Amino acid sequence: MAGSASPSDRGSQDARVPLVVAVDANGADMGPSEVAAGARMAAQRGVHVLLFGPAAELGEVGPGVEVIDAPVSLAKSADPARAVRSTPQASIVQAARAVGEGRAQALVCAGGTGAALAACLFNVKRAPGIHRPALALPIPVPGSAVTLLDVGAGVQAREEHLVQFAFMGAAFAQAVLGVARPRVGLLSNGEESERGSELVVQAGAQLSQRFKDGQLHFVGNVEGGDIVGGVADVIVTDGFTGNIALKLMEGVSQTMLGAIRQAALASWRGKLGGLLLRPSLRAFRDEIDPEGEGGAYLLGLRRLAVVPHGRFARHGFAQAILRAEQGARKDVVGATHAALSEASALRSAPVSGDPASLGDE
Amino acid sequence: MAGSASPSDRGSQDARVPLVVAVDANGADMGPSEVAAGARMAAQRGVHVLLFGPAAELGEVGPGVEVIDAPVSLAKSADPARAVRSTPQASIVQAARAVGEGRAQALVCAGGTGAALAACLFNVKRAPGIHRPALALPIPVPGSAVTLLDVGAGVQAREEHLVQFAFMGAAFAQAVLGVARPRVGLLSNGEESERGSELVVQAGAQLSQRFKDGQLHFVGNVEGGDIVGGVADVIVTDGFTGNIALKLMEGVSQTMLGAIRQAALASWRGKLGGLLLRPSLRAFRDEIDPEGEGGAYLLGLRRLAVVPHGRFARHGFAQAILRAEQGARKDVVGATHAALSEASALRSAPVSGDPASLGDE
């Protein structure tokens, strides 16, 4: 992580009071017991966990973890918004309700982004003045993490959405990742401020003005390669582009590692070389291990929600819970609100219509 | 390449008549002499080359290469459209004019996409019925090449643009890459036909109808990871998204190879392992060598134009020239026109206004 941690402590919780994180254990590839094991690890580090899932499958959880039997899973639901409404007993709905009602200060959902987003919009709700939540992914680049948002909470975006995403991402990087003064870039097809879609050019002008006003460390347009290039700590884009970028990165790295493995297995020389290289490569793989980042983060809600990847093991779930608690302790939601308020970027009119809709489309 | 070659020979040139490729030698990282060396290699394989560049720097070119002294380069121009108009003696303008006037049947430009696009729009011109040209990049994925377009001729796109890109890409993959029945995908943030931006959903519906009518092998929406996943031979997107995807791919693969190299150098075990692995990795690197694909291709003009990467060596420039000739010989432009005509996807009204504009924005 770049720089030393100096997050805002505006509204931060007293470090001695244990915070409560609500966790939905359903949906992980390795089953609910793996999430439970992660909860146990996080509890050993002082977090209090409310664990919603099939009690019979969770195993021994130990002190600091309170199990609420909730066997119904929405993790594979084709229409999460509808499922969330019609299934109040589902684990993710119960977990989100615990956060909405103040019994927990943050949420972790192993059951996927769709279910988490729908349950949060309905039960945790958007933070005041937020147009639309965004899904932020800290990408483990060697040497630092780069937070890309939106990677798929929405699809298309408007100028005011991208402006809010910039502040939301910066507050997140500061409070949760400990980046002192996050550099924020706007993803485009060229570095010059006049390059990009109409949306990007307009949002860039807005963000440049905020930079001149000292409200945001905006570094201008960044290109696709800069996502892994370390030129910014936070990179803002719409959910369509962000989702494509995220999946492309996963695809390219998996394809390359697979091809290198194949190459190494193709000859005895290669096999021996691969064996000798393995410890060094393991260090590299640990450095870019997505589990270390806890998963993706739903920003723009009244509380922080974390969506670990379904394929994570216990270490990843534990990290998600610890990061969720850190976000609550450092009050990332309050810090976001304060920054948006200072930048006059809060939405003034309340959002009308369906409370569980994504926002003002 | 998937399948055996069975390109359309509609309008194909007699294989015994040598075709002429106009080549702009200015702009390559290694200088014009490297392009000249590539031209010499292509000429040895039967292509006749008109080589535009600084005669004093091109060295001995040998038979089949005709040098036209054109030392003025627009490769680094900040405003290529303006430069093309005001600099008729520039190498790229002369080369494009040779194609426009029929003295050559295809173009290769080492001086970058901006100059090539501007010079082609002005001198080669859009093919009849084409809304807008696209830049297509065959990505060297292990086992096959995937052609992504548009990677940056335009920025935003309309529905009818994406539909034309699908046919343009398919005709290109068939004629130039030898893919018998190219599978065409539409880049989106989900595989389901209802996922995506409004533009993508609408274009997807159009392409599905064309598939039902038997005019195109459309395989539906594909995700970011599918660009390297081999599920399609051609992937269609707008220039904004395509450019970001292209640069992200370059960035991720460079970052990973760099990190693996670093890891290998970190210990004597790693160094030895790296040495032993090197031959296998070299085979892998050859397989994904971008020079083998010749560069990026400007489609939608009256003639095919190829833009090799500036960092290419002679082999890459030779490949670009050979591919350009192949495109002319297989009449990729005629095949595109025929397919678009059959699919009733040609633009009916002529494009008005500035002849050098990108198209109907």
For residue B43, the domain's CATH number is: 3.40.718.10
Partner-chain contact A277 B283, CB within 8 Å: no
> What tens digit of pLDDT does each residue of B307-328 get?
999 999 999 999 999 999 999 9
**Token digits for B261?**
């190299």
DSSP H helical ranges for chain A: 32-44, 55-58, 80-86, 91-100, 113-123, 159-175, 198-212, 239-265, 268-287, 314-329, 332-342
Residues of A in contact with B146 (CB under 8 A): none
pLDDT band at A3 (very low <50, low <70, confident <90, very high): very low
Compare CB distances from B251 to A156, A227, A256 and report the shortest one's residue.
Answer: A227
Per-residue pLDDT, averaged over A281-308, amounts to 87
| Rounded CA separation A123/B337 (Å) | 55
Q: Tell me if B128 sits within 8 A of B346, measured CB to CB.
A: yes
Partner-chain contact B269 A281, CB within 8 Å: no
Residues B150 and B248 in one domain: yes
Q: Tell me if B290 sits within 8 A of B137, measured CB to CB.
A: no
Residues of A in contact with B255 (CB under 8 A): 141-142, 228-229
Partner-chain contact B241 A246, CB within 8 Å: no
- On whether residue B356 sits in a domain, the answer given is no
Residues of A in contact with B272 (CB under 8 A): 273, 276
Q: Tell me if A236 sits within 8 A of A227, measured CB to CB.
A: no
Partner-chain contact A276 B280, CB within 8 Å: no
Residues B231 and B307 in one domain: no
> What tens digit of pLDDT does each residue of A130-144 get?
999 999 999 988 777
pTM of the model: 0.90
Per-residue pLDDT, averaged over A300-307, amounts to 96
**Token digits for B351?**
């494009």
Partner-chain contact B188 A240, CB within 8 Å: yes
Q: Is the pLDDT of residue B361 over 60?
A: no
> In Å, how far is A269's CA from the nearest CA of chain B?
5
Per-residue pLDDT, averaged over B155-183, amounts to 95
Q: Tell me if A263 sits within 8 A of B281, measured CB to CB.
A: yes
Dmax (CA) of chain B: 68
- On whether residue B261 sits in a domain, the answer given is yes
Residues of A in contact with B275 (CB under 8 A): 273
Total Cβ atoms within 10 A of residue A198: 10
Compare CB distances from A245 to B248, B263, B264 and report the shortest one's residue.
Answer: B248
- On whether residue A342 sits in a domain, the answer given is no
- On whether residue A130 sits in a domain, the answer given is no
Residues B12 and B55 in one domain: yes
Q: Tell me if B129 sits within 8 A of B347, measured CB to CB.
A: yes
Q: Tell me if A111 sits within 8 A of A92, measured CB to CB.
A: yes
Residues of A in contact with B152 (CB under 8 A): 189
Residues A179 and A315 in one domain: no
Q: Is the pLDDT of residue B250 over 80?
A: yes
Per-residue pLDDT, averaged over A169-186, amounts to 95
Residues B165 and B272 in one domain: yes
Give the pLDDT score at A355.
Answer: 55
- On whether residue A341 sits in a domain, the answer given is no
Residues A177 and A214 in one domain: yes
- Cis peptide preceding B150, ω within 30 of 0: yes
| Rounded CA separation B216/B238 (Å) | 19
- On whether residue A92 sits in a domain, the answer given is yes
Amino acid letter, A182: P
Q: What does B9-70 look like in DSSP terms, one character per residue? A: -TTPPPTTSPPEEEEE-TT-TT-HHHHHHHHHHHHHTT-EEEEEE-HHHH----TTEEEEE-
Which single residue is written with the structure tokens 């270390």? A292
* Cβ partners under 8 Å of residue A188, min gap 6: A195, A196, A197, A200, A204, A221, A222, A223, B240, B244
Partner-chain contact B269 A277, CB within 8 Å: yes
Give the pLDDT score at A289.
Answer: 76
Per-residue pLDDT, averaged over B58-71, amounts to 94
Compare CB distances from A225 to B228, B251, B263 and report the shortest one's residue.
Answer: B251
Beta bridge partners of B137: B148
Compare CB distances from B156 to A190, A198, A269 and report the shortest one's residue.
Answer: A198
Residue B144 CA, chain-centre distance (Å), reads 16
Paired sense of beta strands A234-236 and A144-149, if any: parallel
Residues B81 and B171 in one domain: no
> In Å, how far is B115's CA from the nearest CA of chain A?
16
Which single residue is written with the structure tokens 């560069």? B295
Q: In terms of residue numbers, what domain contains B63?
A: 8-125+301-330
- On whether residue B267 sits in a domain, the answer given is yes
Beta bridge partners of A53: A69
pLDDT band at A353 (very low <50, low <70, confident <90, very high): low
Strand, helix or coil for residue B299: strand
pLDDT band at A51 (very low <50, low <70, confident <90, very high): very high
CA closest to A283 among chain B residues: B263
Per-residue pLDDT, averaged over B235-258, amounts to 92
Give the pLDDT score at A7.
Answer: 38
Q: Tell me if B128 sits within 8 A of B291, measured CB to CB.
A: no
Q: Is the pLDDT of residue A18 over 90?
A: no
> In Å, how far is A245's CA from the nearest CA of chain B?
6
Residues A140 and A265 in one domain: yes
**Token digits for A38?**
């992660």
Residues A146 and A188 in one domain: yes
Partner-chain contact B262 A284, CB within 8 Å: yes
Residue from B136, B155, B147, B252 nearest A248 by CA: B252
Q: Mean pLDDT, chain B, as a whole number?
A: 89
Give the pLDDT score at B4.
Answer: 38
ipTM above 0.90, yes or no: no
Residues A153 and A184 in one domain: yes
Last residue of a domain, one of B260, B290, B320: B290
Compare CB distances from B264 to A189, A252, A277 and report the shortest one's residue.
Answer: A277
Residues A308 and A188 in one domain: no
Compare CB distances from A284 to B224, B260, B279 and report the shortest one's residue.
Answer: B260
Instruction: Kindly report which listed range (A47-51, A115-119, A180-184, B292-296) carries the lowest average pLDDT score.
Output: B292-296
Residues B146 and B35 in one domain: no
- On whether residue A339 sits in a domain, the answer given is no
| Rounded CA separation B325/B314 (Å) | 17
Number of domains into which chain A is organized? 2
Per-residue pLDDT, averaged over B222-248, amounts to 95
Per-residue pLDDT, averaged over B261-277, amounts to 82
Radius of gyration of the CA atoms of chain A, in A: 20
CA closest to B273 among chain A residues: A273
Give the rounded percent of residues in chain A with a pLDDT score beyond 70: 92
Partner-chain contact B277 A279, CB within 8 Å: no
